[in-house]
Amino acid sequence: MSIQELYCQGAKVWIPDKEIVWKEASLQEDYTGQKELVLWVEEDGSEEKLKLKSKEDLPHLKNPEILIGENDLTSLSYLHEPAVLYNLQVRFCERNQIYTYCGIVLVAINPYQSLPIYDADTIQAYQGMDMVSMDPHIFAVAEQAFIRMSRFEENQSIIVSGESGAGKTVSAKYAMRYFATVVGAQDETQVEKKVLASNPIMEAIGNAKTTRNDNSSRFGKYIEIGFSKTNMIIGANMRTYLLEKSRVVFQAAHERNYHIFYQICAAANEPEFESLKLNEPDIFLFTNQGEDPYIDGVDDLEELNSTRQAFTLLGINSVKQMEIFRILSGILHMGNVQFEDDQDDHEKCCIPKDDNHLPIMGEMFGIDAEQMRKWLCNRKIITANETLIKPLTLSQSYFARDALAKHIYSNLFNWIVTELNKALSTNMKKTKFIGVLDIYGFETFEINSFEQFCINYANEKLQQQFCLHVFKLEQEEYIKEEIQWSFIDFYDNQPCIDLIEGKLGILDLLDEECKMPKGSDQNWCLKLYDKHTKAQHFSKPRMSQKSFIIHHFADDVQYSIDGFLEKNRDTILEEQINILKASDYELIAELFSDKGTAGSAAPTKR
């Protein structure tokens, strides 16, 4: 049909709106090439005029009513932003359906409540069924992955992507539950139960309450489920990425630290936990900064019991569990260690002799507290001819304390993941696998730092992978098979990725500045302005000399430069690590063995 036939009097269209994004309207006249269209707005019954510079400015056409609510967006006559949003709105708000297909992609809307669509009967209904023959569901995607793996001997991966709070972690859990329920394990070790048991542990040590989500994953996770020749689960392996270490020492308003800290605080009065000298979370700096330590409907003590049951199922016994909790308690007490300026020299500081938390921290870590008192306030400098001890300033000591706390937690996190992988491993030969990736969604907050930069960079790479498979490779296949079709022009985010990872890109310049003896966030920022101001995906904010803007595929994000260099260096003082290596407790010493900390700690050199 011609444009004149489509844009005739009475045709339904979508026009932009500041409040509701898109609103429905109808043409009051035929379009014959005029520069202004008269529209009747359905929302309020008003008349509106739309100026047109060219045919490209014509409003988006609305789909025929018969297609509204389709379970596959590719079935729509017109596939554009308002059509997609309206179709999802109808399905979710009017039909209570949270899932919709878009070709091979499953679009999910988080209902923020439990729905009765994940029980055993639903799993059974999807078993063995083709994806297009059933209503959209995460189980249909899981079944399709299993079919392609088992029938065509092709390894599969399910990528769960979306904004923070979109429900990625829950979707990933249901996909794994489907495999565990439908496929089962080849032997009697109940590998599938162990795979599911890893979830409460990883949520306890890697999830936290944020302003968007009460159970937000603050790390990325890829679980690879191994299958035998007969398509039975024989083991699994987990890889983790980008743990948000900064959360250990700082939480924004109305946010929490990792769940596990609040779980052990809830058990403070339990007989088994009395030796850990815990208290309410508002007593500890590392758990009280968000000033909102509880989650509605969540009992942290009950959650601790679930975490401990999962630990036990995965072979981490109660003795080892208490060692883990003792380390976590030590981190909390470390956060309450205070420093004060030396009265005679403000370039020096010390820990007050009556500080109650330092000896408790020493007891929890099994270390000499007096040695730690010294090396939290001093550093060793190696020159060509001698070794010097230089005092730290007050701010440097607080930074050293926080850096060590983050490092201890990160090493403990990695140790737990290693132990879980041991429990999930098998000696049987894996012939194929299905991977499930649950990684941070795109993030943009009031203040965005190094963490958001890394998260959004990862999402740029995921978006590129999506475009590669859904558009580029598919259209290349059409060309190869000489299929007639209209070429689809899709957004290619390669220039944004080049800006970040290319030669003299943002990361390249950051690493270079970190190597400079007097490198600083400000100097690095000035280099970014110098090299990239003309780049398509980079901007300098008008009112700030301490931030930069990247035009990502999802949104424009302004990043504050404060702390980028220190977070990228991730340096821990060697003297502090040596104290922990000498711990009376086996687990602490193991966390800081040379093998586990190679390259992570070093004396300051000049």
Q: What positions carry a catalytic annotation?
A: 164-165, 169, 213, 216-217, 441, 443
**How far is the CA of 468 from the CAs of 436, 491, 590, in angstroms?**
19, 11, 43
Buried b / exposed e along 175-205 (16+ C-beta atoms within 10 A) = bbbbbbbbbebbeeeebbebbbbbbbbbbbb
409's tokens = 């937690």
**Among 135, 581, 153, 102, CA closest to 371:** 581
**Among 573, 583, 572, CA closest to 368:** 583
> Can you tell me the distance from the alpha carbon of 426 to that of 414, in angstroms, rounded to the nearest whole number?
20
The angle at the Cα of 271, spanning 266 to 277, to the nearest 5 degrees, equals 60
> Can you tell me the distance from the alpha carbon of 167 to that of 396, in angstroms, rounded to the nearest whole number?
39
> Can you tell me the distance from the alpha carbon of 387 to that of 379, in angstroms, rounded to the nearest whole number?
10
> Can you tell me the distance from the alpha carbon of 457 to that of 455, in angstroms, rounded to the nearest whole number?
5
265's tokens = 């605080």
Residues 6 or more apart from 560 whose CB is under 8 A from it?
Answer: 447, 448, 449, 546, 547
Asked if residues 499 and 505 have their Cβ atoms less than 8 Å apart, the reply is: yes
Is residue 453 exposed (0-12), middle (13-18) or buried (19+ Cβ within 10 Å)? buried
Backbone phi and psi for residue 489, each to the nearest 5 degrees, phi listed first? -85, 115
Provide the 3-class DSSP secondary structure of residue 163. coil
Residues 6 or more apart from 537 whose CB is under 8 A from it?
Answer: 495, 496, 499, 550, 551, 552
Asked if residues 505 and 494 have their Cβ atoms less than 8 Å apart, the reply is: no
AA letter at 144: Q
> Can you tell me the distance from the alpha carbon of 194 to that of 200, in angstroms, rounded to the nearest whole number?
11
| Long-range contacts of 81-84, Cβ-Cβ distance < 8 Å, separation of 24 or more | 81/22, 82/14, 82/21, 82/22, 83/14
Asked if residues 379 and 578 have their Cβ atoms less than 8 Å apart, the reply is: no
> Can you tell me the distance from the alpha carbon of 115 to that of 100, in angstroms, rounded to the nearest whole number?
16
> Can you tell me the distance from the alpha carbon of 424 to that of 310, in angstroms, rounded to the nearest whole number?
13
Q: What is the CA radius of gyration of the chain?
A: 28
**Among 464, 472, 476, 469, CA closest to 489:** 472
> Can you tell me the distance from the alpha carbon of 531 to that of 346, in angstroms, rounded to the nearest whole number?
39
The partner residues of 61 in beta bridges, in order of sequence, read 13
Residues 6 or more apart from 149 whose CB is under 8 A from it?
Answer: 155, 156, 227, 231, 432, 433, 434
> Can you tell me the distance from the alpha carbon of 4 to that of 484, in angstroms, rounded to the nearest whole number?
25
The partner residues of 438 in beta bridges, in order of sequence, read 160, 221
